[in-house]
Amino acid sequence: MENVKNITFIGLGVMGFSMAGHLTKNSYFSITVWNRAKNKAEKWTNEFKGILANSIKEAVYNADVVILCAGKDEDVEQIIYSDNGVLQNISHNALVIDHTTTSYKLAQKLAVSFKEKNVGFVDAPVSGGEVGAINGCLSIMAGGSEVDIKTAKPIIASYAKSISHIGDSGYGQLAKMVNQVCIAGVLQGLSDGILFAKNENIDIEKLLPAISGGAAGSWQMDNRALTMSKKEFDFGFAIKWMVKDLGYCLDRAKENNTDLSFTKTVYDKYQNLIKSGGGQFDTSALILQNKGE
């Protein structure tokens, strides 16, 4: 597909609001938005130049590319498969880019559904959080055909610093699962390390510069370790979303016979935090599940 002009963005939440905003910086693009909560879409059109659609059907009419950024599988299925949804109303030869973190099964199902209608599909979950979306420097893991990825890349580049084509449809979601497993492990290690340091009366503000430049260093250490030690947990990606993501991963692990027992332990700890009312804390609140905190 050449000369993409009409782009529809569906889902103006924590991530999507800024991502859609970055698209307006390209004066050639005509941006239409739709959001389940209309007041959020109205706020977006007050801040950025674009068209507010009153329905999904209206939003995808004549769209060259439709971009989704929703919450979970059920949200995406409602947006795509409802009577007035994307699948029934999108034009042939259009492209759908789904930035939602979903299950592998749903990504494959969507690819088949759109292929039957001669519509391209790219599953493209994101990493980088709200700050990455605001700054336009997200990392994208993509699954789909070479042709569809080629079309998607210059559009996604409006809000991403890297776009990695991992494989066929569904492989973007599989890569995101690996990403979340690794984050869970790092945060559990940080939680243990910080608790150990506290019990030894080590000054955390002296400790972190000493170890962050070595093999223990990570983005989580640089950006979350100090606030974890201070029990400050209002920095972006909420626990409830991590539980959703890890749930998809654990389901897939059962299907391919992968032992993710450590990840399951972290998943259970996050579930406990939700039950105790901490679902809106960011994922670094995992430390609260350590004995002694």
Ordered DSSP codes for 105-155? HHHHHHHHHHHHTT-EEEE--EESHHHHHHHT-EEEEEES-HHHHHHHHHH
Mean predicted confidence (pLDDT) in 42-69: 97
pLDDT at residue 235 in the model = 85
Residue 80 has a pLDDT of 98
pLDDT tens, position by position, 194-235: 999 999 999 999 999 999 999 999 999 999 999 999 999 998
Structure-token match 């979970």, residue found = 72
Q: What pLDDT, on the 0 to 100 scale, is given for residue 291?
A: 74
Half-sphere exposure of 73 (CA within 13 A, CB side): 14
Q: Which residues are catalytic?
A: 176
Domain boundaries, the chain: 6-169, 176-289
Output the pTM of the full model.
0.94
Q: Is the pLDDT of residue 284 over 70?
A: yes
- pLDDT over threshold 80, residue 191: yes
| Tens digit of each residue's pLDDT (9 = 90 or more) over 84-116 | 999 999 999 999 999 999 999 999 999 999 999
pLDDT (tens digit per residue) in 127-156? 998 999 999 999 999 999 999 999 999 999
Residues 156-174: tens digit of each pLDDT: 999 999 999 999 999 999 9
What pLDDT sits at residue 225?
Answer: 96
Residue 1's pLDDT band (boundaries 50, 70, 90)? Answer: low
Report whether pLDDT(273) > 60: yes
User: Backbone phi, then psi, for 68, in 5-degree steps?
Assistant: -115, 140
pLDDT at residue 292 tops 70: no
pLDDT at 236: 77
β-pair partners for 238? 282
**pLDDT above 70 (res 293):** no
- 262 near 192, Cβ under 8 Å? no
Beta-strand relationship, 126-127 and 51-52 = unpaired
Q: Give 237's pLDDT tier (boundaries 50, 70, 90).
A: confident
What is the average pLDDT across 15-41? 96
Quick one: fold of 6-169?
Answer: Rossmann fold (3.40.50)
| pLDDT over 70, % of the chain | 99
List, in sequence order, every residue forming a beta bridge with 142; answer none if it has no partner: 165
Q: State residue 2's pLDDT score.
A: 62
Determine the pLDDT at residue 269.
Answer: 98
Of 71, 84, 80, the residue nearest 12 (C-alpha): 71
Mean pLDDT of the residues in the chain: 96
Q: Is 186 a residue whose pLDDT tops 70?
A: yes
Quote the CA–CA distance of 70 and 73 in Å, as a whole number: 8
Identify the CATH assignment for 176-289 out of 3.40.50.2300, 2.40.240.10, 3.30.479.10, 1.10.1040.10: 1.10.1040.10
Residue 196, CB-side half-sphere exposure with 13 Å CA sphere: 7
Q: Are 109 and 83 in contact (CB under 8 A)?
A: no
Please give the share of the chain, as a percent, with pLDDT higher than 90. 95
